[in-house]
Amino acid sequence: MTKDQTFAVCCLLLSIYLGYEVFAYPSDSSFFPRVLTVVMGSLSLLFFLRKSFSRKGGGAVNTEKDRPTCKSESGLVSGDADALKAAALVFVSIAVYSMLIGVVNYEVATILFLTSMMLLLKFARIGWIFVIAGGFMGLLWGIFFHLLGVSRPDSIFFS
C-alpha cells in the first residue's frame, strides 16, 4: 500500500469513528459535523479509489514502482525514517518538558530542557550551552511573566 493509500484509509477510518460519535448527538446540535464526516469519508474513499486505479493504469511503465512496497513513488523513502525519529524526539521531549514544569518550576524545567536538548543534538560549544539556555530562559521569563504579566505555571517544588 502506498503512502497516499495509507493516508486515505486512515482518513476513512477516522471519518467512520467520528461519524459514529457525531450521529449519536442530537441532530440540531450536530448537523454541521455530520455533514463534514460524510464529506470526509466520501473524499477519502474517492482518493483511495483514484490512487488505486491510477497505480493499476501506470503499472506497465515501471514494475519497481508498481510493487506493493513501502518504498514506491509515494511510499516511505529514506528521509521518512529520519522524519519519524525527529518527530519522536520532538514529541517526547516536549511532553517530558511539560511534565517537568509541573514538578520543578518553569525556570528550572526550561534550563534543563534547553541544555539537555542542545547536548542531545550535539551542539559543539559545550561552554556556551548554559549561557544560551539561561539567557533564552531569561528572555522568555522577562517577556511573558514580567512584561506581559502572565502568571507562572503551578509546580510541586520551587513554586
Partner 1 sequence: MFENMLLGIAPLFSVSMVLAIAGGVTGGVLIGVLPGLTSTMGIALLIPVTFSMPPEIGLAMLGGIYLASTYSGAISAILLNIPGTPAAVATLLDGYPMTRKGESTRALALATFGSCVGGLVSAVALLFIAPPLAEFSLRFGSPEYFLLAIFGITVIASLSGKDVEKGLIAGVFGLLLSTIGNHPMTGFMRFTYDIPALFDGIPLVVSLIGLYSIPEVIDILRRRKTSGRIKLNPDHSNPVKFLPEVIGQKVNLIRSSLIGIAVGIIPGVGCSVGGFLSYDAAKRASKRSGEFGKGSPVGVIASETANNAVTGGTLIPLLTLGVPGNPVTAVLLGGIMIHGLRPGAELFTLNADIVYSFILSLFISNLLFVPVGLFMAKYCVKLIQIPRSVLAPAIMAMAVIGSYAIRGSMEDVWIMLFVGFCGFIMHFFGVPRAPMVLGLVLGTMAEGELSRSLAIVHGDVGAFLVQLVSRPISLVILVLCIFSLVQGIRQQMKKSNDMKNQI
Residue found under cell 517526547: 92
Q: How far is the CB of 139 from partner 1 (least distance, A)?
A: 9
Q: Does 52 bind partner 1 (CB under 8 A)?
A: no
Q: Does 20 bind partner 1 (CB under 8 A)?
A: no
Judged by DSSP in three states, 21 sits in: helix
Q: Does 159 bind partner 1 (CB under 8 A)?
A: no
Which one among 95, 103, 126, 131 touches partner 1, defined by CB under 8 A?
95
Q: Which is nearer to partner 1, 72 or 101 (CB)?
A: 101
Which one among 1, 30, 66, 96 touches partner 1, defined by CB under 8 A?
30
Contact (Cβ atoms closer than 8 angstroms) between residue 112 and residue 134: no
In sequence order, which residues have a C-beta less than 8 Å from that of residue 158 and are 6 or more positions away?
Answer: 104, 105, 107, 108
State the chain's maximal CA–CA distance in angstroms: 67
CA dist 16 and 62 (Å) reads 35
Residue found under cell 514538578: 103
Nearest Cα to 33, choosing from 10, 15, 8, 7?
15
In sequence order, which residues have a C-beta less than 8 Å from that of residue 97 and are 6 or more positions away?
Answer: 109, 110, 113
Q: Please count the residues of this chain forming the interface with partner 1, following the rule CB under 8 A.
A: 68
Site string for partner 1, 114-153 (x = CB under 8 A): x--xx--xxxx-------x---xx--x--xx---xxxx-x
Q: Does 11 bind partner 1 (CB under 8 A)?
A: yes
Contact (Cβ atoms closer than 8 angstroms) between residue 140 and residue 101: no
Q: Does 104 bind partner 1 (CB under 8 A)?
A: no
Contact (Cβ atoms closer than 8 angstroms) between residue 91 and residue 145: no
Q: How far is the CB of 98 from partner 1 (least distance, A)?
A: 5
Q: How far is the CB of 72 from partner 1 (least distance, A)?
A: 14
**Residues at the interface with partner 1 (CB under 8 A):** 3-4, 6-7, 11, 18, 21-22, 25-26, 28-33, 36-37, 39-40, 43-44, 46-47, 50, 54, 58, 61-62, 74, 79-80, 82-84, 86-87, 89-91, 93-95, 97-98, 101-102, 106, 110, 113-114, 117-118, 121-124, 132, 136-137, 140, 143-144, 148-151, 153
